Amino acid sequence: MSGMASEYNTSSGEEYVPHYLQKEDPFASKLSREADIIAGFYLTVIGILSTLGNGYVIFMSSKRKKKLRPAEIMTVNLAVCDLGISVVGKPFSIISFFSHRWMFGWIGCRWYGWAGFFFGCGSLITMTAVSLDRYLKICHLSYGTWLKRHHAFICLAIIWAYATFWATVPFAGVGSYAPEPFGTSCTLDWWLAQASVAGQAFVLSILFFCLLFPTAVIVFSYVKIILKVKSSTKEVAHYDTRIQNSHILEMKLTKVAMLICAGFLIAWIPYAVVSVWSAFGQPNSVPIQFSVVPTLLAKSAAMYNPIIYQVIDCKFACCRSGGLKTKNSLKKSR
Task: For residue 293, give the CATH number of its domain.
Answer: 1.20.1070.10
Average pLDDT of the residues in 262-289: 86
Number of other residues whose CB lies within 10 A of the CB of residue 212? 13
Residue 333 pLDDT greater than 50, yes or no:
no
The answer to whether position 328 is within a domain reads no
Residue 175 pLDDT greater than 50, yes or no:
yes
The answer to whether position 329 is within a domain reads no
Q: What is the mean pLDDT of the chain?
A: 81
Domain that holds residue 290: 28-233+240-310
The answer to whether position 154 is within a domain reads yes
Q: Sorting pLDDT into bands at 50, 70 and 90, what band is 9?
A: very low
Burial of 155 (0-12, 13-18, 19+ CB in 10 A): buried
The answer to whether position 120 is within a domain reads yes
The answer to whether position 133 is within a domain reads yes
Average pLDDT of the residues in 180-197: 90
The answer to whether position 5 is within a domain reads no
Q: 224 or 314, which is more confident?
A: 224
Distance from C-alpha of 35 to C-alpha of 94, rounded to nearest angstrom: 13
Residue 2 pLDDT greater than 90, yes or no:
no
Q: 234 or 177, which is more confident?
A: 177
DSSP label of 178? E
* Number of structural domains the chain divides into: 1
Q: Sorting pLDDT into bands at 50, 70 and 90, what band is 74?
A: confident
Among 43-57, 138-152, 267-281, 290-304, the least confident range:
138-152
Q: 202 or 311, which is more confident?
A: 202
Distance from C-alpha of 207 to C-alpha of 290, rounded to nearest angstrom: 21
Q: Give pLDDT, residue 327.
A: 43
Residue 143 pLDDT greater than 80, yes or no:
no
Q: Give pLDDT, residue 324.
A: 39
Residue 76 pLDDT greater than 80, yes or no:
yes
DSSP label of 196? -
Distance from C-alpha of 69 to C-alpha of 71, rounded to nearest angstrom: 6
The answer to whether position 83 is within a domain reads yes
Q: 17 or 44, which is more confident?
A: 44
Determine contact, residues 40/98, Cβ cutoff 8 Å.
yes
The answer to whether position 12 is within a domain reads no
